[in-house]
């Protein structure tokens, strides 16, 4: 098969880490008989420099014509002083909404060879850690009506959370389907003891759970979920939650694994066109020095194979290669302190994974 991938290298370390990921895809293509063709498009700071806007129309057009989108990272100090609508991050929000990406999948995986980086006690994570957070991405309080003109002297502000049944249904469907492919265990996180939007959320989840009798589904209040994630994270497999709760919990979950350069993400919508990117940013402090860890981007490319193209064996091959490299003690500087024997540059790490 031939797969068309739109590639947004972006700014900072973006180009370095994306190049390693596409080279890994090429090796997978050779081994399994697929062709991946890449079209480079601009977004973020580099797009501002070249075209004056963070998300050129051409970029959206090419992404829509592709089978999937691979992104490095955007932004950096060079563009921090521009007015709001011209910031690199506007490119990211813009592409998510242009592609209708309403589900953000963020795995938090503790790789056994890196377990010393984990912030929790060894006995808490002795069985490993492999959680997937499914976060609603285009609704809820981040997109609700807001204002600052209330009260005496305008000294009050408000934000509103609104969720509709179809919005909850579609994110729930992604979560149930994903849970079905994993351990068939889903935790729906809300604040239904206080919030009306959460009560609707819970109602819809319960209704949909009947369509997935093979998935064990339970409700967890968000404050309890935050606590349980550090007390006993292994009780979770897939977590589904709203935009704001997902924002907070996915940062919490990723930090307990202790390795920012290791964590991938996928943003999905209707159909198969999704956006795959590392969770971390453009790391301008280490850009161009060969110090960036390409693993988060390489695993993101693996998620693309799994979710966009349904290439399970190929995706497994990437995960296995990453684990093998870590088991050999090969490390980029960000994870060098964790049982590593040899520190590699960005390209050397990419090469090592390709060799596996
Ligand atoms: P954003 O606002 O885009 O999230 P940020 O400035 O908050 O960006 P990052 O760009 O993720 O955060 O960088 C945070 C720290 O982590 C920096 O010190 C950076 O060098 C480091 N870092 C981020 N990604 C990597 C990576 N792939 N490899 C090594 N170090 C990284
Ligand atoms: Mg930041």
Residue nearest to atom 21 of ligand 1 (CA): 283
252-304 confidence digits (pLDDT tens): 988 888 778 899 999 999 877 999 999 999 999 999 999 999 999 999 999 99
Residue 312, annotated as binding a ligand: no
Distance from C-alpha of 354 to C-alpha of 356, rounded to nearest angstrom: 5
Residue 247, annotated as binding a ligand: yes
Q: Number of H helices and number of E strands within the chain? A: 11, 14
Give the model's pLDDT for residue 251.
Answer: 87
Beta-strand relationship, 264-269 and 101-110: antiparallel
**pLDDT (mean) for 26-51:** 98
**pLDDT (mean) for 65-82:** 96
Contacts of 351 (CB under 8 A, 6+ apart): none
Q: How far is the CA of 326 from the centre of ligand 1 (A)?
A: 20
Backbone angles phi, psi at 187, to 5 degrees: -115, 125
Nearest 10 degrees: Cα torsion 260, 23, 104, 231? -30
The reply to whether 223 belongs to the active site is: yes
Determine if ligand 1 sits within 6 Å of the CB of residue 255.
no
**ipTM value for the complex:** 0.95
Mutation test residue for ligand 1: of 16, 44, 263, 280, the one with most atoms within 8 Å of CB: 280
Q: Is the pLDDT of residue 190 over 90?
A: yes
Contacts of 94 (CB under 8 A, 6+ apart): 54, 55, 60
Q: Is the pLDDT of residue 54 over 90?
A: yes
- What's the pTM value of the predicted model, to 2 decimals? 0.90
> What percent of the chain lies above the pLDDT cut of 70?
100
Determine if ligand 1 sits within 6 Å of the CB of residue 21.
no
- Would you state the structure tokens that stand for residue 149, as one six-digit string? 């003109």
Q: Where do we find the tokens 């601009």?
A: 42
The reply to whether 247 belongs to the active site is: yes
Element holding 187 (H helix, E strand): strand 185-190
């Amino acid at each position: 098969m031939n797969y068309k991938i739109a590639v947004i290298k972006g700014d900072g370390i973006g180009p370095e880490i994306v190049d390693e990921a596409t080279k890994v895809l090429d090796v997978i293509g050779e081994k399994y008989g697929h062709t991946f063709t890449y079209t480079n498009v601009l977004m973020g700071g580099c797009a501002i420099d070249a075209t004056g806007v963070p998300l050129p129309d051409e970029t959206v057009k090419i992404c829509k014509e592709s089978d999937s989108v691979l992104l490095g990272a955007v932004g950096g100090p060079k563009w921090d002083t521009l007015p709001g609508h011209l910031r690199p991050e506007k490119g990211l929000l813009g592409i998510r909404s242009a592609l209708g990406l309403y589900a953000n999948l963020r795995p938090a995986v503790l790789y056994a060879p890196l377990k010393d980086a984990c912030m929790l006690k060894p006995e808490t994570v002795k069985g490993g850690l492999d959680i997937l957070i499914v976060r609603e991405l285009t609704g809820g309080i981040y997109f609700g009506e807001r204002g600052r003109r209330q009260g005496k002297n305008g000294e009050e502000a408000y934000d509103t959370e609104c969720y509709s049944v179809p919005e909850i249904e579609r994110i729930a469907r992604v979560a149930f389907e994903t849970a079905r492919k994993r351990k068939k265990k889903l935790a729906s996180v809300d604040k239904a003891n206080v919030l009306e939007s959460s009560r609707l959320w819970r109602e819809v989840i319960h209704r949909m759970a009947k369509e997935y009798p093979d998935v064990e589904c339970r409700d967890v209040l968000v404050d309890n979920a935050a606590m349980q994630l550090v007390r006993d994270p292994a009780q979770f497999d897939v977590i589904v939650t709203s935009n704001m709760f997902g924002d907070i919990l996915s940062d919490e979950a990723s930090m307990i694994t202790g390795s920012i350069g290791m964590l991938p993400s996928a943003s999905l919508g209707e159909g198969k066109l999704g956006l795959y990117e590392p969770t971390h940013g453009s790391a301008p402090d280490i850009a161009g020095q060969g110090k960036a860890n390409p693993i988060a981007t390489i695993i993101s490319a693996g998620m693309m194979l799994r979710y966009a193209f349904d290439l399970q064996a190929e995706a497994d091959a990437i995960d296995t290669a990453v684990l093998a490299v870590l088991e050999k003690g090969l490390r980029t500087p960000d994870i060098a302190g964790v049982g590593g024997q040899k520190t590699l540059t960005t390209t050397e790490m990419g090469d090592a994974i390709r060799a596996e």
